[in-house]
Chains A and B, each alone.
Chain A
Amino acid sequence: MTTSTDELRPTVPSSLVDLRGVSLAEMSALSAGIINEAVVRVRPETPTAPVEVAAFNSAI
């Protein structure tokens, strides 16, 4: 059995989720949470979107 050397090469993992494979159109389908996780790495004070609202939702 052969194993590629790349698979054996140790890496230093970051906590940054890799969004390079996510197109901008697909970014629309990502929850704000995933995007914010990436952004707060470089801007801890980033506002979250969408804003928090009450869970209650009955129309009158």
Chain B
Amino acid sequence: MERSPVPLDQYVFKIHSRCDLACDHCYVYEGADQSWQGRPAVVSDEVISRTAQRIAEHASSHSLSTVQVVLHGGEPLLAGAPRLHKIITALHSALHGICRLDLRIHTNGVRLDEKFCDLFAEYGVKVGISVDGDRAANDRHRRYANGRSSYEQVIRAIGLLRTDRYRHLYAGLLCTIDVANDPVTVYESLLGLHPPRIDFLLPHATWDHPPAPALGVDAPYADWLITIFDRWLADGRPTEIRTFESVLSTLTGGESRTEALGLAPSSLVVIETDGAYEQVDSLKTAFDGAPATGLNVFSHAVDVAGQHPGIVARQQGLAGLSRTCRECPVVTTCGGGLYAHRYQSATGFDNPSVYCADLLKLITHVQSRLPQAIAEGRHMPIHAISDGNFRELAEGYGSATAVTQLIDGQRTLRRALLASVYQVARAEPTVPSRARDALRSAWTVLATADQERPDLLDSVLAHPYVRVWAARCLDELRPSSASPAGENGAPASPGLLADLGHLGAIAAVAAIRVGVNADVGVPVTNGAVHLPTLGRLAIGTPAAAAPQREAILTIDGKAVHVQVGEDRWEIAVAALLSGEPYSAGIFGGGEPAKWQPVRILTAPGNITVALEDTDPYRDCHQWPAASRLSEADVAKWQRHFHDAWQEIERDHPAYAPAIAAGLTVLMPMSPAPAGRDVSATARHAFGAIGAALPADATTLALLIIHEFQHVKLGAILDLYDLYDPADDRLYYAPWREDMRPLEGLLQGTYAHLAVSEYWRTRQELTTGAAAETARERFAFWRVHTRDAIETLADSGSMTALGVRFVEEMRHSAAV
């Protein structure tokens, strides 16, 4: 059964039908369709206003949220800035209040100058440039009519788009493949232009006019692309390559990002300079008149064009493909290739692509590089907690095994967050090339360390403030945030660049711990080079207005060489890993520097916890972090922690296994006001508890038990939906003056479940005034906790699993 036509939300608007280049592989002028010769050179005012009106009508009647318009040609810049201004403002004006306009221009770039760029910057028009690789590759086809090279002009145009002023307009590069060019040279030369995206385009061909054969090679385009794919993957996907991203996405159940692959229906129509609606213009390669619809913007609504059989034919998914394609194992990824490439005069479009062998080979190769589970067509495994462990956790406790299952989930999340930061940052056009190169270098070091010793890399990534850092980077990269990266051409903020630079610090520690040689850049933050989990090298306080500095770390297995400007220091790896402070002999020419290691607290039973007072991302606990502690303060922490742990293990044994398995960091906070104890956790800092050092070990024991409840519940919520996040009501929490959101109430209740039990135990173990105090507090917290449990149960916003969780808490509180 034929699908109903889908709304059209992509428009290729031909605004000029002539070109200033005479590329011999151009499908517009060298293809079978020569209709350009009968069209006006430049789009008229009437066509502009009618086109804008038709698009707006269609967007409004179909409630489209976004419409994408690609200004195209010929060469669209030949229309000139005044006419482009008219086109752009007409589209913006017509679509204002109806939907978002995603406006782009595809150009050969030779005429691109500041005047055009200023216009595009004013209206947010993204610019894609056609370039086929290095000079030799580009000169093979992309020349003027007199045979002159266009390379210099194109590179100048790209250089303009790479400046701070226009970088946000740089949409990417479009490269038409010629297998006579060396693929690695083409890839490297394009990558050297730092595009946010590269499109490798198969040259248009049909079964009537197939691509030129390569002697003795069955699938030359696949081989060419595979060479680049393998290199791109090894490089850590330094930029988006749309063909590869689409193959990866569709192989893992996602959508294609190009009309050339996948089964998604086409929602695109072309509007020519005379206002004629046409089908996708790659059909110009099929036969003369192939893209024509006989419809135009003056007489026909977009809806009418959308019902044209030629457009509907490209919306039929699997049913619209040839039998050969329908029976092919990679059809959901390939989708029969580009529609025009299926054409044969005898059979029309009921054929596989003329690039069938290439597409099959490429897709099969990409599939072989996927993680095993996906390559074998199996679903990826999912995280789960045994029923018994879930019950223990819900009751407020949890064995080491239960917490280990929570830690397993955290390992997945940390890796996903790390990869997400890398992928989002490298796709962000306002991140300068240098920062992107640094990210790529750091990622390569991390991947190498992971290959050698994944356990040691995990010990670095398990540091609680790595996830805090990743979340902060993603916050800063979020387009909708208050100071968005990339909006209105604002360059990435120094804060974001310093945060992204911290990936280098994480990579440096991975290299040190695993023993991998590496050169990485690390930001100097607050006068120190920070190495998470190890400590920091304090190199002096910078002047307030000093620009952001960067340290270059060279790690060679035995030593870490640190260079900041002209200053150099050297630290032995053994010294870094020893956890001992290190000052003598550390500097080799610069200002004195001091290695300040993270100190480790210990307790009986091989319990070790880092006393984290160096990490630059630790100050995330809603109470200020303390500055570097003196040795005397560390000694106090050690005594309190030792005694607190003994008390927990002896008097509160139900809580000890979970804490022993999951607590990795105590983060000293600034002293609390007199008479108050201060402690806190942060959702992204799994395994860390922040606290101001309390007066005695007994109080520290209570703070640890209380806060670790939050740590556990945060990790449970990372795995499970216990409540409806759409519930934005505020709830009464008996222990607070302010009302709390549902998650806040759940967190408080879960924590006070343990606090109640703590005081019940204290009441049994103490005598006199201490016992009386414990009795009062137990009564207070038990009543409040029970009340809060009932509020949660009555909220109507707990999921089925959340209802069970609350029921287990209720059962525990009743004892």
Contact A57:B74 (CB < 8 A) given known A10-B386, A17-B382 = no
Contact A57:B413 (CB < 8 A) given known A16-B382, A17-B382, A49-B424 = no
Evaluate contact between A18 and B383: CB separation under 8 angstroms: yes
Evaluate contact between B201 and A59: CB separation under 8 angstroms: yes
Query: Which residues 388-447 in B have Cβ within 8 Å of A in the complex?
Result: 388, 390, 408-409, 411-413, 415-420, 423-424, 426-427, 443, 446-447
Kindly list the 10 A-B residue pairs having the minimum CB-CB distance in the complex, ordered from nearest. A38-B416, A33-B254, A14-B719, A59-B174, A11-B384, A31-B249, A49-B424, A49-B423, A10-B387, A59-B130
Evaluate contact between B412 and A11: CB separation under 8 angstroms: no
Query: Which residues 5-60 in A have Cβ within 8 Å of B in the complex?
Result: 9-36, 38-39, 41-60
Further 12 A-B residue pairs, CB within 8 A, beyond A30-B419, A42-B718:
A23-B450, A25-B450, A26-B371, A29-B371, A31-B245, A31-B253, A33-B253, A34-B254, A39-B413, A56-B280, A57-B201, A59-B175
Residues of B within 8 A of A34 (CB): 252, 254, 380
Evaluate contact between B419 and A12: CB separation under 8 angstroms: no
Residues of A within 8 A of B477 (CB): 47
Residues of A within 8 A of B381 (CB): 17-18, 21
Residues of A within 8 A of B480 (CB): 45
Residue of B nearest to A9 (CB): B386
Contact A18:B412 (CB < 8 A) given known A24-B419, A25-B451, A31-B254 = yes
Chain B nearest CB, measured from A56 CB (Å): 6
Residues of B within 8 A of A33 (CB): 249, 252-254
Give the A-B pair count, Cβ closer than 8 A: 228
B281: interface (CB < 8 Å): yes
Point out residues on A near B: beta carbons under 8 Å: 9-36, 38-39, 41-60
Evaluate contact between A21 and B371: CB separation under 8 angstroms: yes
Q: How far is the CA of A58 from the CA of B280 in the complex (A)?
A: 10
Evaluate contact between A56 and B387: CB separation under 8 angstroms: no
Q: How far is the CA of A22 from the CA of B447 in the complex (A)?
A: 11
Chain A nearest CB, measured from B305 CB (Å): 16
B474: interface (CB < 8 Å): yes
Chain A nearest CB, measured from B203 CB (Å): 10
Residue of B nearest to A46 (CB): B474
Query: Which one of A9, A28, A36, A52 lies within 8 Å of B236 (CB-CB)?
Result: A28
Evaluate contact between A43 and B408: CB separation under 8 angstroms: no
Evaluate contact between A16 and B719: CB separation under 8 angstroms: yes
Residue of B nearest to A15 (CB): B382
Q: How far is the CA of A11 from the CA of B651 in the complex (A)?
A: 31
Q: How far is the CA of A32 from the CA of B424 in the complex (A)?
A: 9
Residues of B within 8 A of A18 (CB): 380-383, 408, 412
Contact with A along B465-497 (1 / 0, CB 8 A): 000000100100111100000000000000000
Q: How far is the CA of A55 from the CA of B242 in the complex (A)?
A: 9
Interface residue count on the B side (C-beta < 8 Å):
104
Contact A12:B801 (CB < 8 A) given known A30-B252, A33-B249 = yes
Residues of B within 8 A of A9 (CB): 386-388
Evaluate contact between B383 and A16: CB separation under 8 angstroms: yes
Residues of A within 8 A of B479 (CB): 47
Chain A nearest CB, measured from B453 CB (Å): 12
Evaluate contact between B266 and A14: CB separation under 8 angstroms: no
Evaluate contact between A39 and B417: CB separation under 8 angstroms: yes
Residues of A within 8 A of B373 (CB): 21
Q: How far is the CA of A43 from the CA of B447 in the complex (A)?
A: 24
Evaluate contact between B259 and A56: CB separation under 8 angstroms: yes
Chain B nearest CB, measured from A60 CB (Å): 6
Residue of B nearest to A55 (CB): B259
Q: How far is the CA of A47 from the CA of B383 in the complex (A)?
A: 24
Q: How far is the CA of A58 from the CA of B268 in the complex (A)?
A: 13
Q: How far is the CA of A26 from the CA of B471 in the complex (A)?
A: 22
Point out residues on B near A: beta carbons under 8 Å: 10, 12, 19, 26-28, 68, 70, 72-76, 102, 104, 106-108, 130, 171-172, 174-176, 197, 199, 201, 233-234, 236-237, 240, 242, 245, 248-249, 251-254, 256-260, 264, 266-268, 280-282, 366, 369-371, 373-374, 380-388, 390, 408-409, 411-413, 415-420, 423-424, 426-427, 443, 446-447, 450-451, 454, 457, 471, 474, 477-480, 683-684, 718-721, 725, 801
Evaluate contact between A56 and B12: CB separation under 8 angstroms: yes
Q: How far is the CA of A58 from the CA of B70 in the complex (A)?
A: 11
Residues of A within 8 A of B427 (CB): 49-51
The contact sample of 11 A-B pairs, CB cut-off 8 A, is A11-B385, A14-B719, A17-B383, A23-B454, A28-B233, A28-B419, A41-B718, A45-B480, A55-B268, A59-B199, A60-B74
Chain B nearest CB, measured from A59 CB (Å): 4
Evaluate contact between B72 and A30: CB separation under 8 angstroms: no
Residues of A within 8 A of B383 (CB): 13-14, 16-18
Evaluate contact between B260 and A57: CB separation under 8 angstroms: yes
Evaluate contact between B424 and A47: CB separation under 8 angstroms: yes
Residue of A nearest to B233 (CB): A28
Q: How far is the CA of A22 from the CA of B411 in the complex (A)?
A: 11
Evaluate contact between A24 and B371: CB separation under 8 angstroms: no
Contact A54:B371 (CB < 8 A) given known A12-B720, A39-B416, A60-B107 = no
Residues of B within 8 A of A31 (CB): 245, 248-249, 251-254
Evaluate contact between A35 and B423: CB separation under 8 angstroms: yes
Residues of B within 8 A of A23 (CB): 447, 450-451, 454
Chain B nearest CB, measured from A15 CB (Å): 7
Evaluate contact between B201 and A58: CB separation under 8 angstroms: yes
Evaluate contact between B417 and A60: CB separation under 8 angstroms: no
Q: How far is the CA of A13 from the CA of B233 in the complex (A)?
A: 32
Residues of A within 8 A of B683 (CB): 42
Residues of A within 8 A of B719 (CB): 14, 16, 41
Contact A47:B478 (CB < 8 A) given known A29-B369, A33-B254 = yes
Q: How far is the CA of A5 from the CA of B97 in the complex (A)?
A: 62
Residues of A within 8 A of B380 (CB): 17-19, 34
Residues of A within 8 A of B237 (CB): 28
Q: How far is the CA of A42 from the CA of B801 in the complex (A)?
A: 18
Q: How far is the CA of A19 from the CA of B380 in the complex (A)?
A: 8
Q: How far is the CA of A60 from the CA of B204 in the complex (A)?
A: 12
Evaluate contact between B130 and A36: CB separation under 8 angstroms: no
Evaluate contact between A50 and B412: CB separation under 8 angstroms: no
Q: How far is the CA of A21 from the CA of B378 in the complex (A)?
A: 14
Evaluate contact between A24 and B446: CB separation under 8 angstroms: yes
